Structure 1
Amino acid sequence: MMMYQRREVNNRIRTMKHRKSDSSKMLGSEALVLGLLGLWRPQQGGGNLPGVLLASVTLLSVAAVPAGAALRLCADFPEELEDLALCSYMLIICSGSFIKVALFIGEGGTLHELVRLMNATRRQYGSGETTDCIRNHYTRTMDTLYRCFQVMAVPSLMWWVVSPLLSSGVQKEGQENQRQLPAPLWLPADIHSSPMYELLYVTQIFCLTLTAEVTMCLDVFFVRLMMMIAAEIEVLNHNISTMRDFHFKSEVSDNHLCGLKGSELSSMVSDRDQSFPAADNTTQNGSDKEMFSRLVKNVLHHQTVLRSVSLLQTSMNISIFILLFINMANLCSNMFVTCGLLQRDGSLTKATKALFTIPPVLFQTGMYCIFGQITTDQSERLSDSAFGCGWINCDAHFKRNLIILMMMVGKPVEITVGKTCQLSKQMLLQVLNGTYVLLNMLFQVRRTE
Structure 2
Amino acid sequence: MDNSLSYFDDFTKIPFSLMDILQLEVQNTSKVNQTLMQRTQITFKKIYYWALVISMIFSITLSAKALIFCDPYDMQKFTLDINLSISMTTVMVKAIMLYSNAKNIIEIADDLKRGYTNQEQVRYGIKNYTNKVRTFNKIYSGFWATPFLIQFTLVLVILVVTGQKTFPFFIEFPDFFHPQNNFVYPILYIFVVWSLTSPAMVMVSFDLSFFNILTAISMEFDILTEDARNLKKLLKSQIFNHLQMIIDRQNRLFEVTSKLEESFTFSNLYYFLVASIIICLFAFIVSTSNDITQVILMGSMCVSTIYQLYLQCSYGQLLTDASAGFMDGIYDCGWEDFEDITLRKMMIFIMMRTRKPATVTYMKFGNLTKQLFTSAIWRAYSYFTLCQQIYSKV
What's the TM-score once normalised by structure 1's chain length?
A: 0.74
Specify every segment of 5 or more residues in structure 1 that has no aligned partner in the other structure, as ranges.
1-13, 170-175, 251-286
RMSD: 3.4
Q: CA 1:116 to 1:208, structure 2 compared with 1: closer, same or farther past 3 Å?
A: same
Query: 1:235 Cα shift?
Result: 0.9
- Do 1:114 and 1:311's aligned partners in 2 also have CA atoms closer than 8 Å? yes
Where does 1:75-114 land on structure 2 (aligned, <5 Å)? 75=69, 80-114=74-108
Which one-letter code corresponds to 2:139 in the other structure? C
| 2:300 aligned residue (333, 351, 356) | 356
2:375 pairs with 1:436:
no
- 1:267 corresponds to: none
- Do 1:379 and 1:412's aligned partners in 2 also have CA atoms closer than 8 Å? yes
2: distance between equivalents of 1:327 and 1:228? 26
2: distance between equivalents of 1:19 and 1:66? 44
Query: 1:140 Cα shift?
Result: 1.8
- 1:299 corresponds to: 247
Query: 1:92 Cα shift?
Result: 1.5
Query: 1:60 Cα shift?
Result: 2.1
- 1:231 corresponds to: 219
2: distance between equivalents of 1:73 and 1:299? 54
Which one-letter code corresponds to 1:245 in the other structure? K
Where does 1:137-216 land on structure 2 (aligned, <5 Å)? 137-158=128-149, 160-161=151-152, 182-185=169-172, 187=174, 189=176, 193-195=180-182, 196=184, 199-216=187-204
Percent identity (aligned): 17
- 1:254 corresponds to: none
2: distance between equivalents of 1:136 and 1:39? 30
- Do 1:163 and 1:182's aligned partners in 2 also have CA atoms closer than 8 Å? no
Where does 1:47-66 land on structure 2 (aligned, <5 Å)? 48-66=42-60
- Do 1:31 and 1:40's aligned partners in 2 also have CA atoms closer than 8 Å? no
- 1:377 corresponds to: 321
| 1:311 aligned residue (235, 245, 259) | 259
Query: 1:222 Cα shift?
Result: 1.0
- Do 1:131 and 1:235's aligned partners in 2 also have CA atoms closer than 8 Å? no
2: distance between equivalents of 1:393 and 1:432? 49
Which one-letter code corresponds to 2:343 in the other structure? F
Q: CA 1:25 to 1:161, structure 2 compared with 1: closer, same or farther past 3 Å?
A: closer
Where does 1:251-330 land on structure 2 (aligned, <5 Å)? 287=236, 289-330=237-278
- 1:7 corresponds to: none
Choose 134-143 or 181-190, whichever is displaced more.
181-190
2:317 pairs with 1:365:
no
2: distance between equivalents of 1:295 and 1:402? 8
Which one-letter code corresponds to 1:332 in the other structure? C
Look up the SS of the partner of 2:176 in the other structure.
Answer: coil
2: distance between equivalents of 1:57 and 1:414? 37
- Do 2:323 and 2:357's aligned partners in 1 also have CA atoms closer than 8 Å? yes
1: distance between equivalents of 2:210 and 2:345? 37
Q: CA 1:207 to 1:396, structure 2 compared with 1: closer, same or farther past 3 Å?
A: same
2: distance between equivalents of 1:418 and 1:427? 13
Q: CA 1:215 to 1:337, structure 2 compared with 1: closer, same or farther past 3 Å?
A: same
Q: CA 1:427 to 1:322, structure 2 compared with 1: closer, same or farther past 3 Å?
A: same
Look up the SS of the partner of 2:269 in the other structure.
Answer: helix
- 1:37 corresponds to: 22
2: distance between equivalents of 1:215 and 1:330? 17
2: distance between equivalents of 1:432 and 1:97? 21
2: distance between equivalents of 1:166 and 1:448? 43
- Do 2:4 and 2:118's aligned partners in 1 also have CA atoms closer than 8 Å? no
Q: Which protein has the larger Cα radius of gyration, Structure 1 or Structure 2? A: 1
- Do 1:27 and 1:224's aligned partners in 2 also have CA atoms closer than 8 Å? yes
- Do 2:80 and 2:294's aligned partners in 1 also have CA atoms closer than 8 Å? no
Look up the SS of the partner of 1:417 in the other structure.
Answer: coil
Which one-letter code corresponds to 2:21 in the other structure? L
1: distance between equivalents of 2:148 and 2:100? 28
Query: 1:326 Cα shift?
Result: 1.9
2: distance between equivalents of 1:437 and 1:384? 39
Look up the SS of the partner of 2:169 in the other structure.
Answer: coil
Q: CA 1:191 to 1:88, structure 2 compared with 1: closer, same or farther past 3 Å?
A: farther
- Do 1:85 and 1:333's aligned partners in 2 also have CA atoms closer than 8 Å? yes
| 1:27 aligned residue (12, 15, 19) | 12
2: distance between equivalents of 1:396 and 1:126? 33
- 2:231 corresponds to: 243
- Do 1:72 and 1:184's aligned partners in 2 also have CA atoms closer than 8 Å? no
Q: CA 1:329 to 1:76, structure 2 compared with 1: closer, same or farther past 3 Å?
A: closer
2: distance between equivalents of 1:413 and 1:354? 36
- 2:331 corresponds to: 387
Which one-letter code corresponds to 2:259 in the other structure? L
Q: CA 1:334 to 1:167, structure 2 compared with 1: closer, same or farther past 3 Å?
A: farther
Q: CA 1:377 to 1:181, structure 2 compared with 1: closer, same or farther past 3 Å?
A: closer
Look up the SS of the partner of 1:153 in the other structure.
Answer: helix
Q: CA 1:335 to 1:164, structure 2 compared with 1: closer, same or farther past 3 Å?
A: farther
- Do 2:10 and 2:130's aligned partners in 1 also have CA atoms closer than 8 Å? no
Query: 1:402 Cα shift?
Result: 1.0
